[in-house]
Amino acid sequence: MIWSDLWDVLLLRDYNTRVVLLGVALLGAASGLVGSFTLLRKRSLMGDALAHASLPGLVIAFMIAVAAGGDGKSMPLLLAGATMGGLAGVACILFLQRFTKLKQDATLGIVLSVFFGLGVVLLGITQKMDAGHSAGLETYIFGKTASMRRADGIMIAITALISILVTGVLFKELKLLCFDADFAGSRGLRVWLLDTILMVLVVMVTMVGLQAVGLVLMVAMLVIPAAAARFWTESIFRLALVSASIGLVGSVLGATASAVMADLPSGAMIVLACALLFAVSMFFGTQRGVLPRLWRRRQLNAKIARQHLLRGIYELSEAEFQDANPGHWVSLIDLLQKRSWNSKQLRRQIETAELVELVRYKTDQVALTSAGYAEAARLTRQHRLWELYLVHYADVATARVDRDADDIEHVLEHDVVEKLERLLDHDPIRIAVPSSPHAMEST
């Protein structure tokens, strides 16, 4: 039965299914797109405050319409009231921040809880009205995707289109706003206007998403896709695209699961599907994912160990033979004393370096090959340039400069190390390896 229902959903045989899937897909894409900018602007929870603050406005709009003898279930009227409530909430947040000097998280918490409490009280009052029992206003708290109609889908589509057009036209300005608002102001951009436009987009997306996922879960649609996208890219353009894609896919998956298993609430399933995509991104994201970062760290550690081995052989050969050349054999015992390795670790590093033909090994001695010598000389030169810089320009004592130079070379992130190495390594053939600062001090 489940497979039959799933097949019907995937083939979009039912009209209501087509409306719901299209609506939630566009809502997810719009939420992810707008959420990527609010995340970078550190305004992610503003959507939560807007959603909760919309409840009293929505209920008041219903009460006014019923009192005037109109249709309290009119969707445009209810969304207009919800929008007014959300804007009133934003106004209260801005007022508190400006005149009380409270932090943003405190003002958000105050406004969110007070407005939501007021909305619940008003909702209780409407239940005593003749039309209140059939109003269905409580569905806006947790959402009811299955009741989405063609008009709702059109409204969501219009909102998504507006979001795409606005962010596309103002992409450069919004990017500058997110990364450095002060610089944006110094360049003549109206920061307050850009912030207002961004908040208007948040209001629009939040209001049209109330029926789909509800005001309680709407914040997840603005935060989760954007946060998941951060694990995949460092580019704000690709971040917006990936965030919109995650929002779209998560919404479709959640709505499909809810359609197949009727007892599962659609709004909650949409959020859980987005959370699943977030978990996948967190572990496998190419830029900030846990597993790729662990893999890069492991590769960096292996690279560091190999560099220490080559540099250790080079320095021992230099000290023993007054020069470092390929073919000079050095003792493993001396290498063990030079680095904090044990015998097993040292042999493993030698075997690894031998596989790529950087060293030669026999019994208890090791020597550099021609390729190993060239690499060791490059590494030693770079390390000593760091040492000389620290000694002469950073006032680091010679006795501890070796460790500090290691910190600079290896503690920094992998991409930073590579950039610094490229800056130092502009001509490794013509520039000789400097003398060790330690030897200079002893003389």
CA-CA distance, 433 to 421, in Å (whole number)?
15
Encode pLDDT of 203-238 as tens digits. Answer: 888 887 777 777 777 888 889 999 999 999 988 899
Give per-residue pLDDT as tens, 267-319: 788 889 999 999 999 999 988 899 999 998 888 888 888 888 888 888 888 77
CA angle centred on 337, ends 433 and 420, rounded to 5°: 35
49 and 107 Cβ atoms separated by less than 8 Å: no
Q: Report residue 289 as tokens.
A: 């994912």
Maximum Cα–Cα distance for the chain, whole Å? 102
Question: Structure tokens of 409?
Answer: 């070379």
pLDDT, tens digit (0-9, with 9 covering 90-100), for 79-93: 788 888 888 888 888
Domains of the chain, start order: 2-285 (1.10.3470.10), 292-442 (1.10.10.10)
Instruction: Give me the sheet containing 359-362, strands edge to edge.
Output: 330-331, 365-368, 359-362
Mean residue pLDDT across the chain: 79
pLDDT of res. 143: 67
Q: Residues of the chain whose pLDDT is less than 70?
A: 1-16, 70-73, 130-136, 138-139, 142-147, 262, 321-324, 392-394, 396-443
- The whole-number pLDDT of residue 431 equals 44
| Helix, strand, coil tally for the chain in percent (to 5) | 75, 0, 20
| pTM, entire model | 0.76
Considering the chain, what percentage of its residues have pLDDT values greater than 90? 11
